[in-house]
Amino acid sequence: MAAYTRRIQLTGGSTYIISLPSKWIKENRLEKGSELSIDETNGNLLISQAAQGKSELVKRINIEGKVDLDNFQRALTSLYIADFDTLIIRSSQYIDDNLREMVKKFSRLVMGVEIFEESSRTIVLQNVLDTNSFPMANAVRRMSLNVETMLGDVIKGIEDNDTKLLESVISRDDDVDRYQLYVYRMVNRRKNEAENSIYFLIFSRILERIADHAVNICRIWASGEHVQEDGKTAIVEFMKRATSLYNSSVEAFYAKKFEALNSIISRKPAFIEEKQTMMDSAADSSYSHYTSPISEEALRVALYATDIAELAMDLILGNKMDFVIYS
């Protein structure tokens, strides 16, 4: 990323101006009379092309021969994060059904991308989402609410032996993934423009991992016969405490409650000890094969919750020049 230095000039007695680099003007096909957008973020000014002046960003994938589907999916994801307005997928031969279905699945997985045109050898994807109407902070908040609901439904699904509810938790993991890819894309698009973007990026990654652990618990529970009532109670209570810690850490992150963070972070050793106690109690039981993996997954939820609290502390202290800590 190029950096330029310009001196502020005064004209007309009250108007301050700076000159713009000619290279930037030429690269962006601007001229006299072109409109620019000036946004203020965290005390800095960002100069960019006005919406109507931006050229469409078109990317292309040219397919030659047989395609490895896993590599193709990774390429699609990377191109989405790198950003495009239009993505043209063109093959020298007919696009087979497996590849076509993968593109359709991809368009359902990510936010704002739809199949605009389709033929035997070409598929055109377009980004139809106005990112200005859905800021990154909103996407992260939606993620955290989804994860909160998933954790609550894991507990209820185990308590009620409700396999359909647990299956719905597994299916909702795609929604969390969808939001995270959107956050990645927004961070890449905005670069240093979005205030606190790095914190939201890390937060989204933690949320995605917690959702994965919730899914793992559902799959472990559904993998065989249910445990006895006392074993189930222990698992549920441990999950409830881990979920409560998650909710407290997310609330502290959004509300920037510095005074609550240390108490959240300091609970990490207690959860590790509680997990070991659970495993010891169930060691000779018929349900030990459930307790060990589920307690490990629940512990990970609790530990990630403390990571959120630590991230909130980084965010709060990183944005303050002076800070008072009371004993």
**Mean pLDDT value across residues 174-200:** 81
d(CA 221, CA 161): 9
Among 23-32, 122-131, 263-272, 280-289, the least confident range: 280-289
Q: What is the pTM of this model?
A: 0.77
Residues 39/40/45/50 CA torsion (nearest 10 deg): 0
Do residues 76 and 84 lie in contact, with contact meaning Cβ atoms separated by under 8 Å?
no
Q: Which two tokens stand for residue 213?
A: 């652990």
- Look at residue 297 and tell me whether its pLDDT is greater than 90: yes
Q: Is the pLDDT assigned to residue 165 strictly greater than 70?
A: yes
For residues 286 and 118, give the distance between their C-alpha atoms in angstroms, rounded to a whole number.
Answer: 55
Q: 158 vs 51, which has greater pLDDT?
A: 158
Mean pLDDT across the stretch 199-217? 95
pLDDT (average), residues 227-246: 85
Say what the pLDDT of residue 327 is: 47
When pLDDT is cut at 50, 70 and 90, the band that residue 164 belongs to is very high
Q: 192 falls in which pLDDT band (50, 70, 90)?
A: very low
Q: Is a pLDDT exceeding 70 seen at residue 68? A: yes
What is the rounded CA–CA span in Å between residue 90 and residue 119? 9
Question: Mean pLDDT over all residues of the chain?
Answer: 84
Contact criterion met (CB below 8 Å) for 205 and 180: yes
| Domains detected in the chain | 9-53 (2.10.260.10), 58-129 (3.30.110.20), 133-318 (1.20.58.220)
What pLDDT band is residue 130 in, cutting at 50, 70 and 90?
A: confident
Q: Is the pLDDT higher at 165 or at 128?
A: 165
pLDDT of residue 33: 76
